[in-house]
Amino acid sequence: MSKFRTEVDSMGEVQVPADAYYSAQTQRAVENFPISGWHLPVALIRAMGRVKLACATVNNDLGKLTGTGKNPLDAKQVQAMCAACQEIIDGKMDDQFPVDVFQTGSGTSSNMNINEVISNRAIEILGGNRLDKVKPIHPNDHVNMGQSTNDTFPTAIHVAAAYEIHTKLIPQLERFHASLSQKAKDWDKIIKIGRTHLMDATPLRLGQEFGGFARQIALSIERAKVAAKAVYELPVGGTAVGSGINTHPEFGKRVGQALAKQTGIPFVEAADHFEANAQRDGLVESHGQLKTIAMSLFNIANNIRWLGSGPRCGFFEVILPDRQPGSSIMPGKVNPVMCESMMQLTARVIGNDATMTLSGAAGGNFQLNIMMPVMGHAILESVHLLSNGISAFIEFCMDGLEANPVACEASVEQSLSMVTSLNPYIGYEKAAKLTKEAFASGKTIRELCIEQNILDKDVLSKALDPFSMTEPQG
């Protein structure tokens, strides 16, 4: 049995793998773009299925599919087409999308890929032969009815991005916030030394430090919501250039409503289809929020890495879980691998933001942006990395992270910045002189104050109480 079959499109014959649900135009794209081996993200493929299902449903409700136009469908054919869309949404056809990310800039190859798959699978569902040259359910006339790649492909990117942010990223951020908040509560009584410019500073509580991290993630949750909101407006209904040629006036509005119902996300028709077709500003804005989230995650992971440094020659104020041997030559060494993993993946997200920015700025010429596949890939990769990275960090680092009160408290009394609380009593200049004397002699601020009888014993004890230094004194 032949491994290939002959398919025909407007440019002639093409040899397509015999068992493929896609047809000629997809195969041409596979041959034209042997670039990276990266296919569209699964999340985008399934979002394309959602868009095609919404379009089919709306076209049917408007009487377009079963109307008096060329080759109208009957009710069973419409049902089969919708069933094929649902199979794509459910992930049953993931292996039928072989086109490289670095393809035609509008995503036409991938739009035709899904049109062909839906067409052939719907024919098969009805008991027909998907290999027949004449398609009773046509990829262009029926599956792509009232649509252009130029409006449906960016719509799918918006749907995928918002859906992944809502269902994956935000829940993981909420888990991370809860974890950090619990550490902040549990460690609220542990005094440690602060550090600014990497140098000793006044005391604070370990719980306060982790409370600061928790606040970063609380703000990240709000940024993730803004990231999703930035892509709620959908280009669908603008067709080729934003004018809506060959589609019903209510099509875009109804498709937006159908997608909102499918996903539970408040998608709406774009306010201006010429802007929505031509520009990808919303995607750039959305990813900008993801970049900021990545920056916060990098910062938190890096701080925890430093706090756990040691165990004997570093800070070692927190004890990171042992996850794996850390060295091929130094026996017993254990490294902060989860922090390092988080820092690497967030660096990738920050890099993706450069791709998004350049693609949005330079790719939107006249009525179409021609950088959409790589933008879809970049934003969905970023959401995927952030979501999975946070999940792993919680499970393999945060859940087993312990405080080391002995190490935290050991350096507090030795800090020269303890002198700061004496400013109201002896003034800045005298305090600075005391600091230099303490450093030169190796004595603590408290020891010098007692030796020189600088303050009454009770006043000195109150002034140099480390816990009181962690809060405003009035």
Task: Specify burial of residue 122 (Cβ count, 10 A radius: 0-12, 13-18, 19+).
Answer: buried
**Run of H or E including 192:** strand 191-196
Statement: residue 68 has pLDDT above 90:
no
Distance CA 204, CA 187 (A): 11
pLDDT at 67 (0 to 100): 81
Distance CA 364, CA 370 (A): 7
Helix (DSSP H) and strand (DSSP E) numbers for the chain: 17, 10
pLDDT at 96 (0 to 100): 98
CA torsion sign for 457, 463, 467, 472 is positive
Statement: residue 1 has pLDDT above 60:
no
pLDDT at 363 (0 to 100): 73
Q: Which two structure tokens, joined as six digits, stand for 26?
A: 């997809």
Query: What average pLDDT does range 337-362 have in this prediction?
Result: 97
What percentage of the chain has pLDDT greater than the value 70?
99
pLDDT band at 155 (very low <50, low <70, confident <90, very high): very high
Beta-carbon neighbour count of residue 38 at 10 Å? 13
Is 62:254 a contact under the CB 8 Å cutoff? yes
Classify domain 151-230+278-407 by CATH architecture. Answer: Up-down Bundle (1.20)
Q: Which CATH superfamily is domain 4-145 in?
A: Fumarase/aspartase (N-terminal domain) (1.10.275.10)
C-alpha distances out from residue 154 to 28, 105, 279, 368, Å? 22, 11, 10, 10
Note the Cα 9 to chain centre separation in Å.
38
Residue 139 DSSP code? I
pLDDT band at 8 (very low <50, low <70, confident <90, very high): confident
pLDDT at 79 (0 to 100): 98
Q: How many CA atoms lie within 13 A of 201 on its CB side?
A: 9
The per-residue DSSP string of 292-324 comes to HHHHHHHHHHHHHHHHT--SSSS--SEEPPP-S
Helices (H), 71-140: 75-89, 108-125
pLDDT at 71 (0 to 100): 85
Statement: residue 307 has pLDDT above 90:
yes
pLDDT band at 381 (very low <50, low <70, confident <90, very high): very high
Distance CA 463, CA 422 (A): 6
Statement: residue 133 has pLDDT above 80:
no
Domain with CATH 1.10.40.30 in the chain: 413-470
Closest alpha carbon to 454 in 441, 467, 437: 437
Distance CA 197, CA 190 (A): 22
**Run of H or E including 55:** helix 42-61
Distance CA 158, CA 148 (A): 16
The per-residue DSSP string of 193-261 comes to EEEETTEEEEEEEHHHHHHHHHHHHHHHHHHHHHHHHTT-EE-TT-TTTSS-TTS-TTHHHHHHHHHHH
CA torsion sign for 347, 350, 354, 356 is positive
Statement: residue 322 has pLDDT above 70:
yes
Is 104:26 a contact under the CB 8 Å cutoff? no
Distance CA 84, CA 178 (A): 41
Domain with CATH 1.10.275.10 in the chain: 4-145
Statement: residue 316 has pLDDT above 90:
yes
Statement: residue 432 has pLDDT above 90:
yes
Active site residues: 197, 327
pLDDT at 196 (0 to 100): 96
CA torsion sign for 456, 459, 463, 465 is positive
Is 203:412 a contact under the CB 8 Å cutoff? yes
pLDDT at 182 (0 to 100): 98
CA torsion sign for 122, 128, 129, 133 is negative
The domain made up of 413-470 is a member of CATH 1.10.40.30: yes
Domain with CATH 1.20.200.10 in the chain: 151-230+278-407
C-alpha distances out from residue 339 to 176, 308, 318, 376, 389, Å? 14, 10, 13, 27, 10
Query: What average pLDDT does range 98-127 have in this prediction?
Result: 97
Is 369:278 a contact under the CB 8 Å cutoff? yes
pLDDT at 473 (0 to 100): 81
**Strand bridging mode 233-234 / 268-269:** parallel
Statement: residue 469 has pLDDT above 90:
yes
331, 334, 335, 337 alpha-carbon torsion, rounded to 10°: 120
Amino acid at 143: V
Closest alpha carbon to 99 in 44, 136, 55: 44
413, 417, 421, 423 alpha-carbon torsion, rounded to 10°: 140
Which pTM was predicted? 0.96
pLDDT at 130 (0 to 100): 83
Statement: residue 108 has pLDDT above 60:
yes
